[in-house]
Structure 1
Amino acid sequence: SAPFVMEIDRISTLLDEILTPLGIESHPFKIQWYNDRVPGAFKFQRHPDTLCFVSLSTPSTFEKAFLPFVLNDRNLTLKDPFDQCMTACFARAIQAFPGESVELLQDFELHPNRRPKVIMQTAGHVSGAVHYYGCNDMEITESPPNKKLLGVCIHPKYGGWFAFRGVFIFSDILVPDLEQRQPADVVQREDVRRDLLRLFNFSWQNGLYRDVIDVDERYSAKQQEYFRTVPSQRWELIEQWRNEARTRSWSGVGR
């Protein structure tokens, strides 16, 4: 098993060197673990031992990666700014693997029939990065009869203050001996779990579900302002921040 361990360590180290300074975590898993938990249409037609990594942004990603990216002004189109930032970060990561077959699936990517290319929550759970809490065995009485209740993932350090951003698939690397890490079950009490699912499904906008556990870090006020702003108005907010940054740099010139 030594070669497999060396390969995983090599890839983990390269990903972490590029992404950790940007506040992005990456966690390994095998195709089989994912395929065992998803419906047929979502299964990957790959060797079951294929190595993958799921990447997620943490609270510091906004200040470490996103603000420098948008304030720098370059190469931005009218697409979603945060998605573009993550695409740029992941492109840098992929460049660390020249000549290797690396496929990236980002959280916003859909098939032509609008089906997501990957179920991020499942990838997060099987990698051990976060714990997925589903609604299957929960009686949530206020649920309207036709509302499909959604499960939610909770990070052991950041609670709900994180987001899935992408999955890397290393098509040529098989890791039969990769050991599965169980996610930390940080919401064990059933009443708290029920409250979590209720908050997430019926009032996710207020963000209270994110603090279901004591967290090490949460989104800054600036980041919360950004994500509270409707997507069509986020460019105006970015423009305002750019003007503030210019003003600050000018005011510092003569000192």
Structure 2
Amino acid sequence: MAAAVQQRLSELLSPLGFQCEPFLIGWYNAVMQPSFHLQYPDDTLAFVVLSMPQMFEKAFKPFIVGKQLSSVQDPIDDCVAHYFSLVKKNFSDQKIEAIHDFEMLPNRRPKVLVQSAAHVAGAAYYYQMKDVQKNPWGEKKMYGVCIHPRYGGWFAIRGVLIFPDVQAPSLEQKLPVDCVSTDEKKIQVLERFNLHWRDWTYRDIIDVEERYSEEQKQYFATPPAERFKLLGLKSDCSSMTSGGNQQSTTHGAL
């Protein structure tokens, strides 16, 4: 059942520049504090959804051109929400709970820590301070960052799709690729992400197959409130999610 669901998801989302990887709720809950647990049985099937570099051209630009938006909060978030809704329509025979990376609980905690979800699904390795053998930072907090084995940091984790009525107890867990192999490199990627994330050098911590296009780089390098000018859109909202620092709201323990 899990393989069939994954195939259908891939047929829908892969041509648009998304990657979907399965995991079980129990895998996620096992590495999270109870306050972050997802309230489903352990063998419930879920998928983490990542956007690859080509998503901007294959999904985002067609979405903007084909939809007359007179008032939006964040174009990228609206775009992902649009394609998640299409998934639900194409899975009319299944119940799907979609949780976006930007969604918060009333206490301002993220509804799901997508970096941890990506790690347990084997989609990307979530590098944290504990992965460094000799901690050079002392008591200073360094947030973790996910690195994709093919795209390095040139990707984003957009959310999870949960299938509450699908149990997949026989699903085998795939370990993420530890592609940042040395202690020195792990220190570099954490420092670059925490201290210099605006220069994007953390994204190239490994050799990558593809990066963001120049147009996409320009979009994400533009302050959020000014991105509407690039798209010819108007916004009634004074605050927006970042969109560019895609892992900014996904910090969590694994």
The alpha-carbon distance between structure 1 residues 95 and 76, as it changes in their structure 2 partners (threshold 3 A), is: farther
Q: 1:196 aligns with which of 177, 186, 189?
A: 189
Matching residue of 2:21: 27
Following superposition, the deviation at residue 55 of structure 1 comes to 0.3
Question: Residue 129 of structure 2 aligns to a residue in which SS?
Answer: coil
| 1:49–1:174 CA contact under 8 A, matched in 2 | yes
Residue 202 of structure 2 aligns with an amino acid whose one-letter code is Y
Question: Larger % of helix: which?
Answer: 1
TM-score, normalised to structure 1, is 0.87
1:93 aligns with 2:87: yes
Q: 2:62 aligns with which of 59, 62, 68?
A: 68
Q: Distance in 1 between matches of 2:22 and 2:142?
A: 28
- Give the RMSD, CA atoms, in angstroms: 1.5
- Counterparts of 1:203-218 in structure 2, within 5 Å, are 203-218=196-211
Following superposition, the deviation at residue 140 of structure 1 comes to 5.4
Give a deviation string over 1:105-134, Cα, whole Å, max 9, x none.
001100011100000011000000001111
1:40 aligns with 2:40: no
Following superposition, the deviation at residue 172 of structure 1 comes to 0.6
Following superposition, the deviation at residue 141 of structure 1 comes to 4.0
Matching residue of 1:109: 103
Q: Distance in 2 between matches of 1:64 and 1:28?
A: 23
Q: Distance in 2 between matches of 1:16 and 1:40?
A: 31
Matching residue of 1:171: 164
Question: Residue 136 of structure 1 aligns to a residue in which SS?
Answer: helix
Q: Distance in 2 between matches of 1:216 and 1:49?
A: 34
Matching residue of 2:49: 55
Q: Distance in 1 between matches of 2:93 and 2:185?
A: 48
**Unaligned stretches of 5+ residues in structure 1:** 1-6, 241-255
The alpha-carbon distance between structure 1 residues 177 and 76, as it changes in their structure 2 partners (threshold 3 A), is: farther
1:160 aligns with 2:153: yes
Matching residue of 2:126: 132
The farther-off stretch of 66-75 and 218-227 is 66-75
Greater Rg, structure 1 or structure 2?
1
| 2:45–2:168 CA contact under 8 A, matched in 1 | yes
| 1:76–1:84 CA contact under 8 A, matched in 2 | no
Question: Residue 94 of structure 2 aligns to a residue in which SS?
Answer: coil
Following superposition, the deviation at residue 71 of structure 1 comes to 2.2
Instruction: State the number of aligned residues.
Output: 232
Aligned identity (percent) is: 44
**Unaligned stretches of 5+ residues in structure 2:** 234-254
Q: Distance in 2 between matches of 1:45 and 1:213?
A: 36
